[in-house]
Structure 1
Amino acid sequence: MTPGLALFYGGQAHAKSVLNMMMMVFSTFATVGVLWVIVGYSLAFGDDVGGGLLGNPAQYFMLSSLLSETVQTDGLPDIAFAAFQAMFAILTVGLIAGAVANRMKFNSWMVFSLLWALVVYFPIAHWVFDLDAGWIANGIGAVDFAGGTAVHINAGMAALVLALILGKRKGWPNDSARPHNLTMVMLGAGLLWFGWFGFNAGSAAVANFAASYAFLNTVVATCTAICGWLIIEQVRDGKPTSLGAASGIVAGLVAITPACAAVTPLGAMAIGFIAGLACAFGVGLKYRLGFDDAFDVVGVHLVGGLVGTLLIGFFAWEGSPAGAGGVFYGGGWGQLGVQAVAALAVIAYSGILTAVIALIVKATMGLRVDEDSEAVGIDEGEHAEAGYDFLGMNNRTTNGATPPPVTSGATQTVDAP
Structure 2
Amino acid sequence: MRLYPGARLDNLVSDDLQRAILKRVMAAMVVGAGLVMVLSFIRVTIEGFQPKFAAMWIVAIGIFLLWRVHARWRPSRIGLVLYGLFTAMGSVALLNTGIASIGAIFLFIALAMASIVFDLTRLIALVLFQLGLFAISIVLINADIVAPLPANGAPYLLQPKTWAFHGVVIAVGGMVSFYGTSVLGEWYRNSLEQARKKFFDGVAVMSLAHDTETGQHIDRVSLYAAEVYRWLAGTERARELTFSVDELANAVKLHDLGKISISDGILKKPGKLTAAEFEKMKKHTVLGAQIITTMMERSEGMDRPTMSLARDIARSHHENWQGGGYPDGLEGEQIPLAARIMSLCDVYDALRSARTYKPGWSHEATVEEMLGMENKFDPVLLAGFRQYNDRFEALYAEAP
Measured against the shorter chain, the TM-score band is under 0.3
TM-score norm. by structure 2 comes to 0.24
More helix by share: 2
